Amino acid sequence: MEEFQGIELLPEPGEPRILSAIDPSTRGFQDQWRAEVTGWAPVIPDSVSIRPRRAFSVISGAAIALMMALIVVLWQSDLLLLELPPPSSEWAFEDTNIRDLQEDGLTGEDVRLCMVDTGISLSHSALEGSTVEFKDFVGSEVSPVDYGTISHGTLMAGLLISSGYQEGIAQGVTLGMAAALSADGDDNTGSESRVASAIRWCIFDFEADIISLSLGGEQNQESSREGATVSATRQALDLGIYVVAAAGNDGGSTDDGYVSAPGNVPLAITVGASDRFNEVWSKSSSGEQVDSEGNLRAYPNQKPELTAPGVSIVSTGMNDEWFSSSGTSDATVFVAGALALILEEHPELKRTDDSGSECIELVKSSLASSLSPDMTHDTREGYGVLDAKAWMDSIPSPIDC
């Protein structure tokens, strides 16, 4: 075993029984390579130390040689097909009780949900047959296209409507996708005016019941006027359209203490990210105690309102692959999807031609009370971690809004 001194064995993601020999000095590079090639988020696994084994016997060697020969024959005759499945995020659907609502037959049918993102590619097999109303604010494409780094919009949409390997949150929704962000190096960016125009398309052309914004910009505390995106978000909320927005990913030592805009708008539902142990993700943004007008934020509109699964979340990626990502973007879709199931069950909560924000206020109060009956709030966790069933059960009956 002298030739193996200094070598470690690394379990493969998703199948720890398969081990690869690695040089420990290159582990950091190997993790990055794996992330780029397979689309999985970098995971630093535990190394397995090599243990001394008994001497190889002639009989065991012959048995292994026979087995290898059989494998070669089967492989060459196409009788041996080995395909390792990707990891999944089933824990996120189970822990938030979204699967419980689905078992009751809810799919989001007759609910119109609009995403503003990088667009969407429908080439993934898990999105096959999906119908999406698409609007391009980046280019001039008529058919759905994704302009983003790592197909961000496709990732987000897959959490909602994918089928097969991982069943989405609300496959029955009518999905609108406004492409307003595009790749800018490692990031996805879009102008303030472009994002605002996309939100207004969701309001007036697509006629959304819910707008899901897995995006956000820095709040400008020096500006005397709010940005166009915030104004468009307020307009949606005033018309009775629910807006679910990401809290932002600047948590930790660099956190400026503000959620991203337009998640700062009081009636928006602003979402931070949590992991599978219900712990707040280290990069999930903290919320501020006062709003943009200097008023103290009050229950149930303190920021963020809640957290949802957003760490190592698996969804549809490029080239029919499954990608893993972390961020408040993913968490936002879980909340928007859960809300779609609630609106299917209670269509009287959806927007009407003459509705205002009264139903939004009722739904937000129900959300907060389902997570924090004693009205306590944390600037990072919000009122608690998403529980879709508890949220549904907290909707009053009869509904008066």
Q: Which residue has the higher pLDDT, 181 or 60?
A: 181
The CATH number corresponding to 90-394 among 3.40.640.10, 3.40.50.200, 3.40.140.10, 3.40.50.450 equals 3.40.50.200
pLDDT at 339: 98
- The model's pLDDT over 355-400, given as tens digits with 9 standing for 90+, comes to 899 999 999 999 999 999 999 999 999 999 999 999 999 999 999 8
Cβ contact 176:112 at 8 Å: yes
pLDDT at 87: 78
Alpha helices in 297-387 (DSSP H): 328-345, 358-371
- The model's pLDDT over 250-285, given as tens digits with 9 standing for 90+, comes to 999 889 999 999 999 999 999 999 999 999 999 999
Burial of 395 (0-12, 13-18, 19+ CB in 10 A): middle
d(CA 33, CA 27): 10
pLDDT at 60: 61
d(CA 317, CA 210): 24
In whole angstroms, what separates CA 129 from the centre of its chain?
21
Average pLDDT over residues 146-154: 93
Q: What is the domain partition of the chain in residue ranges?
A: 2-76, 90-394
84: amino acid identity, one letter: L
- Rounded to two decimals, the pTM is 0.80
